[in-house]
Structure 1
Amino acid sequence: MSVNVEAILRKHYGNGSEALEVLLAHSRCVAEKALAVAERVAHLSPDRLFIEEAAMLHDIGMMHTWAPGIGCRGESPYILHGIIGAEMLTKEGLNRHARVCERHTGAGLSAEEIKDADLPLPHRNLLPETLEEKIICYADKFFSKNPETLTIEKPMASVRTLMARYGENQIARFEAMASLFE
């Protein structure tokens, strides 16, 4: 079964909004990187079609958050974009895709990290578990949504520095993915 990603995005974003343009550019870069990673681990039999679809939809919830620099003028804090996106895709009947939305923030977030940082997220593990979830989470770290650098892939050293800022658990999970995918 193939998902009409563009139809889903246009249903929620309309046509031509700044947020949609940022989302599409970012998601295309993430999808390309994720598919390249999938090729490197072809021996693990990743689901390439799912990876492409889920990478294109992983940030769908951002439109409901407050991030005016990327055209999002919703009421929720940006950290909730994954949870919101999961809710949106669950309503579309895309439960597997929804899991990617809620598990891609950072290198995933444990219930303990969420609670300790007092994040406005459900107090449960939001860690990528499947190979496909890990590939998309990993690929996402290499691209920002800053309109000035949207399509420029960050070098590994920059990604490692960024992940290290969020603590030992984040960098350890990222390094585990990097060792599998590079």
Structure 2
Amino acid sequence: MIDYFKLIHRHIPVETPSYQLYVVHVCLVTERALRIARKMGLDGRRCRFIEEAGMLHDIGICRVYEPRLGCRGQLPYLAHGVVGRQILEAEGLPDHALVAERHVGVGISAREVREARLPLPEQDMLPKTLEEQILTWSDLFYNKVPDVLWEERTLSQVELRVQQYGEGPWRRFQHLKKRILPYDLVAQVE
């Protein structure tokens, strides 16, 4: 088992506002993802991976600029997935790194990067494995912004947000919904 708190502390100082927001957010996302994984019958090894990757999926915020989160880095917030991948690869965690890179929104395609001129590498960053998909889905329901940190979005709220991203993300969301919603009892209740 990876000591993910040790790794988090190495990159996000405990005394910072971003640390407090980070820990609450990743705990909420991870708890939901584990509940779904267990309902799906995933074994202990896969659940451990989801726990570790869930706790580390947003580690890239340490190098982005987002004042609402207390993040004072230089990069745009959208880059936190790519930066997270770099950090986790440097830590020797290539599979966890892919979760960090691919969880943003419902994943981002190379075409979307190119067409929207996003400040990201022009490559597909789409959740592929079931574990990546569960964590991506779970992340959609929570925010890191202080005013709504503890509020869980409803499925309808998530759908409205994702629809704003465009046709490709909406199709990916529908795929995730079909695959994961039957195991996410909380999202089924509105």
1:124 aligns with 2:123: yes
Q: 2:70 and 2:55 mapped to 1: Cα distance?
A: 18
Q: CA deviation at 1:14?
A: 2.1
Letter in 2 for 1:155: T
Q: 2:122 and 2:29 mapped to 1: Cα distance?
A: 27
Residue 48 of structure 1 corresponds to 47
Residue correspondences, number:
181
**Residue pairs, 1:1-182, within 5 angstroms:** 2-42=1-41, 47-182=46-181
| Consecutive aligned runs of 4 or more in structure 1 exceeding 4 Å deviation | 43-46
Q: 2:95 and 2:44 mapped to 1: Cα distance?
A: 17
Structure 1, residues 13-50: CA drift from partner, whole Å, max 9, x if none?
12221111111000000001111111232269881000
Give the TM-score of the pair, scaled to structure 2: 0.92
Structure 1, residues 59-115: CA drift from partner, whole Å, max 9, x if none?
001121110111101110001001111101111000000000110111111111111
CA contact (8 A) 1:143 1:150 kept: yes
- Give me the CA root mean square deviation: 1.4
Percent identity (aligned): 37
Q: 1:66 and 1:124 mapped to 2: Cα distance?
A: 23
Does the residue aligned with 1:153 lie in a helix, a strand or coil?
Answer: coil
Letter in 2 for 1:20: Y
CA contact (8 A) 1:34 1:139 kept: yes
Does the residue aligned with 1:33 lie in a helix, a strand or coil?
Answer: helix
CA contact (8 A) 1:22 1:70 kept: yes
Q: 1:167 and 1:44 mapped to 2: Cα distance?
A: 35
Residue 186 of structure 2 corresponds to none
Q: 2:31 and 2:166 mapped to 1: Cα distance?
A: 28
Q: 2:150 and 2:48 mapped to 1: Cα distance?
A: 22
CA contact (8 A) 1:46 1:132 kept: no
Letter in 1 for 2:68: G
Q: 2:91 and 2:12 mapped to 1: Cα distance?
A: 15
Structure 2: 5+ residue stretches without partners: 182-190
Q: CA deviation at 1:140?
A: 0.2
Q: 1:16 and 1:33 mapped to 2: Cα distance?
A: 26
Structure 1: 5+ residue stretches without partners: none
